[in-house]
Chains A and B, each alone.
Chain A
């Protein structure tokens, strides 16, 4: 069971602003999902390797060269809604 306090904590870690209503709803729904996935405990996985990818590729390398994505700096900067100053995106201060 995930308490409302725990939901708020996870939301904080995930940088999500939730309304009180959402906190309440998620507490029930997330608990339901977590209870359901507990079914995995039935499975004996002793000595079983983990799978993090499925095609067996290893250390895919390419030449250490600058590759152009075919997109200009101006085009990329135009994707931002934020103010552009000297070819940089202006954001709020992180440290006061």
Chain B
């Protein structure tokens, strides 16, 4: 049996039944990495010795009778945006190519406390900016279902690592869709939490009022298990509200009988491939048979979400990335001819950032500059309020919303890379929930005729991740 194919829930049982060790589990994951990573490029850093040592340490703890819970001894792939103490963390940018953080991100620490063992660091769009992982200084991640296609992004490496069984689960970040979209394109489960549900401390910031930390897994149950370990207030992140953390696995097995599911009509219209919306509707029909009530709702501000995002996100990004100046953070310029400090900044940032980052910093700087701040930035923030109101109104009538994740299945590598505006549309259906800070889970909904995964998302009110798990589990069940 190939242990790397197991889910968390299965591996946790096997370890406790003494069927195999953490080392066996890690070895099988590493074997798969050796066999497939050359083609997929999901990992940008793997240290076999370190990974096996972590596994052996966990085996020792098991032998001593210690039990840290269901994640103990389970191999995890970490997006390269999470600070990992002593392990290179690059955000897949030339700017941080040699950066070795002196501390673990809060999420990494919480996972370690829960017994996580790390396989390696995964590929991503530079500083999490992109929807295809093509903007990585380590090259593109390929889709395990078709290596001529992208795995999505920005957390493409983490999604592909789970989809190809090169790990049991992985971490990601979702600002405008960076977990849900790659999860959908790779056919795995991707959880985007409520803004502030999981600490961002030690995770390189992109757009601070949008950024969330989440994860990829092979099942909805696994997703709930992971959230149990990482959710909750953190003193190091002032935006994590003190909202109680329930046992998320308690939301499993409840079924959808009597539950009101809203279908936002704007998510099934123009710009969304018919095959995608058809697949989602097939699953919705099955949920109806399970006793769910299906209600059509309208979120009329949906079409403005991408524009709101591409004003406010670059604005916040350009401010956050200001710290990469070759002194406080980032690389010193290679040229020795630099004469003064200002020239030094120009050179460091000119060399250190890739083209998509430069593009977004430029947009952000422009919309924040004198004379444009009100017209662009404040205007977008006002429209953001209206998007939030849309959702509030919808949730007066329904318990959750179901919609497609990505307007299309995985696109070809290179297809959109030179057309930023088209690439930005890849997130058209994921951005609105992010704008309102809502939790949403991406769950596989079937395959296209050409054999590519199609996902659906379940969106819930803030801090109601439990509903995503309740419905998500049934979405899995009805397809079996």
Q: Mark A residues whose CB is within 8 Å of B.
A: 2, 7, 10-11, 13-18, 22, 25-26, 29-30, 32-34, 36-37, 39-43, 45, 48-55, 57, 60, 62, 67, 69-72, 75-76, 78-82, 89, 91-94, 96
CA distance A29 to B421 in the complex (A): 8
In the complex, whether B253 has a CB less than 8 A from a CB of chain A is: no
Find B421's partner among A36, A54, A62, A89 (CB 8 Å cutoff): A36
Q: Which residues of B contact A10 (CB under 8 A)?
A: 362, 365-366, 369
Measured between alpha carbons, how far is A42 from B349 in the docked complex, in Å?
36
For the complex, count residues of B whose C-beta is within 8 A of A.
67
Contact A14 B365 (CB under 8 A): yes
Shortest CB distance B244–A (Å): 14
B274 at the interface (CB under 8 A from A): no
Residue contact B238 to A22, C-beta cutoff 8 Å: no
**Residue pair B209, A53 in contact (C-beta under 8 Å):** yes
List 19 contacting pairs A-B, 8 Å CB cutoff, sorted by A: A2-B366, A10-B369, A14-B364, A15-B325, A29-B421, A32-B420, A37-B307, A37-B310, A39-B303, A40-B308, A45-B379, A50-B378, A50-B385, A52-B209, A54-B195, A70-B103, A80-B327, A81-B332, A82-B332
Find the residue from B304, B307, B355 having the highest chain A CB count within 10 A: B307
**How does the 8 Å CB contact mask read for B343-367 relative to A, with 1 for contact and 0 for none?**
0111101110101001101111110
Whether, in the assembled complex, B99 has its beta carbon less than 8 Å from a beta carbon of chain A, the answer is yes
Determine whether the beta carbon of A43 is less than 8 Å from that of B341: no
Query: What's the count of A-B pairs with C-beta under 8 Å?
Result: 161
Contacts of A34 in B (CB 8 A): 363, 366
Q: Which of A41, A43, A55, A79 contacts B102 (CB 8 A)?
A: A79
Interface residues of B in 319-337 (CB under 8 A from A): 325, 327, 331-332
B1 within 8 A of A: no
- Give chain A residues whose Cβ lies under 8 Å from the Cβ of B383: 40, 43, 45, 48
State in angstroms the CA–CA spacing of A62 and B382 once bound together.
30
Q: Quick one: which of B209, B241, B311, B359 contacts A29, CB cutoff 8 A?
A: B359
Query: How far does the Cβ of B318 sit from chain A's closest Cβ, in whole Å?
Result: 6
Interface residues of B in 218-255 (CB under 8 A from A): 235, 238-239, 241
- From A22, A54, A71, A93, contact of B340 by CB (8 A): A93
Q: Decide if B298 is an interface residue (CB 8 Å cutoff).
A: no
B385: chain A residues within 8 A (beta carbon): 48-51
Interface residues of B in 97-140 (CB under 8 A from A): 98-103
Q: How far is the CA of A69 from the CA of B101 in the complex (A)?
A: 13
- Distance in Å from the Cβ of B69 to the closest Cβ of chain A? 23
User: Which residues of chain A have C-beta atoms less than 8 A from B344's C-beta?
Assistant: 91-92
Say yes or no: A39 contacts B307, CB within 8 Å: yes
Residue B338 CB within 8 A of the other chain: yes
From A32, A52, A69, give the contact of B103 (CB < 8 A).
A69
Given A36-B310, A40-B380, A52-B381, residue A16 in contact with residue B346 (CB < 8 A): yes
A49 contacts B420, C-beta separation under 8 Å = no
In the complex, the answer to whether B381 meets A51 with C-beta atoms within 8 Å is yes
Q: Give Cα A82 to B379, complex, Å.
A: 42
Q: How far is the CA of A40 from the CA of B435 in the complex (A)?
A: 15
Interface residues of B in 293-318 (CB under 8 A from A): 301, 303-304, 306-308, 310-311, 318
* Cα separation A72 to B382 with both chains bound (whole Å): 43
B342 at the interface (CB under 8 A from A): yes
Q: How far is it, in angstroms, between the C-alpha of A60 and the C-alpha of B345 when the chains are bound?
A: 33
B384 interface contact, C-beta 8 A: yes
Q: How distant is the Cα of A71 from the Cα of B103 in the complex, in angstroms?
A: 7
Whether the pair B363, A33 counts as a contact (CB closer than 8 A) is: yes
CA distance A76 to B235 in the complex (A): 21
Contact A15 B420 (CB under 8 A): no
Contact pick for A39, options B304, B364, B435, CB 8 Å: B304
**A17 lies within 8 A of B100 (CB):** no
Q: Considering the complex of A and B, which 10 residue pairs feature the smallest CB-CB distances, nearest first?
A: A17-B350, A54-B437, A50-B381, A45-B382, A75-B102, A60-B238, A14-B365, A17-B346, A37-B307, A51-B384
